[in-house]
Amino acid sequence: MNYNSDKGKNDDHDMHLADKRQRIINGAITVFACKGFYKAKIEEIAAQAGVGKGTVYEYFSSKKELFQEMFLYIEEKYEEMFQQELSLVDTFYAKLQKMFEVTIRFLERHKEMARILLAGYPPVSEDIQRVLLEKNQLKLEEISKILEEAIGRQEIRPVDTFAAAQVILGALFFVGGQILFAGTENKKKFDYDEQAQEVIDILLKGFLYP
């Protein structure tokens, strides 16, 4: 059950396989996102992917495995965006902005999916649960490092970088949460970027008078 990652090849066969597997993942994203793990029916995912029920089982050994693979796929996409975008800018301020930008952009696209990820509750048994934790930890460390560098460059004052990373990630997630949940009711879909700007301002300057 190894799926070759070298998708450079375009020959019909590989393409076809990759195609189907990916179509099922996409179907899964759609259906899991909108029904949650338990209410999602394999049959519906298959239909969504335009394949037969049995075909899903050719590529994933169980509903749970499908869920986990999809989960990993999404996570990876987010991680990619995060890393890539942040590497494009230099200053701490710019990086902070990028973090919000990327997160907002990502969540707007994968809104429903993210809710499930947040939940952490489908039977993403142990393994995935652990991966989730690790990813989080990694992100914290990533941000910590960015903070350290910024401190080194004297862009920001010396702070407990781990605590600071938490504050940032917390703000990130919360703004994200706004999108996620408030988004269901898309009444006032206000400008998240603007909102984020305010948040960044506070993070930078704090509440107290200088």
Kindly tell me which of 16 and 130 has the beta carbon lying closer to DNA: 16
Could you tell which of a copy of itself, DNA, none binds residue 64, using a CB distance below 5 to 8 A set by kind?
A: DNA
Of 56-64, 99-107, 168-176, 182-190, the segment contacting DNA by CB under 7 A is 56-64
Rounded to a whole number, what is the distance in angstroms from the first to the last CA of the chain? 59
In the complex, least distance from residue 184 CB atom to DNA, rounded to whole angstroms: 22
Instruction: Determine the size of the site formed for a copy of itself (CB under 8 A).
Output: 56
- Please report, as residue ranges, which positions from 80 to 139 form the binding site for a copy of itself (by CB under 8 A): 92, 115-116, 118-123, 129-130, 132-133, 136
Of 46-54, 155-163, 164-172, 173-181, the segment contacting DNA by CB under 7 A is 46-54
Q: How many CB atoms lie within 10 A of CB 136?
A: 12
- Please report, as residue ranges, which positions from 23 to 82 form the binding site for a copy of itself (by CB under 8 A): 36-39
**Distance in angstroms (rounded) separating the CA atoms of residues 24 and 44:** 11
Q: 3-state SS string over 50-110?
A: CCCHHHHHHHCCCHHHHHHHHHHHHHHHHHHHHHHHHCCCCCHHHHHHHHHHHHHHHHHHH
Sign of CA pseudo-dihedral 17, 22, 27, 33: positive
Kindly tell me which of 60 and 192 has the beta carbon lying closer to a copy of itself: 192
Kindly tell me which of 80 and 201 has the beta carbon lying closer to a copy of itself: 201
In the complex, least distance from residue 201 CB atom to a copy of itself, rounded to whole angstroms: 8
Specify the amino acid at residue 43: E
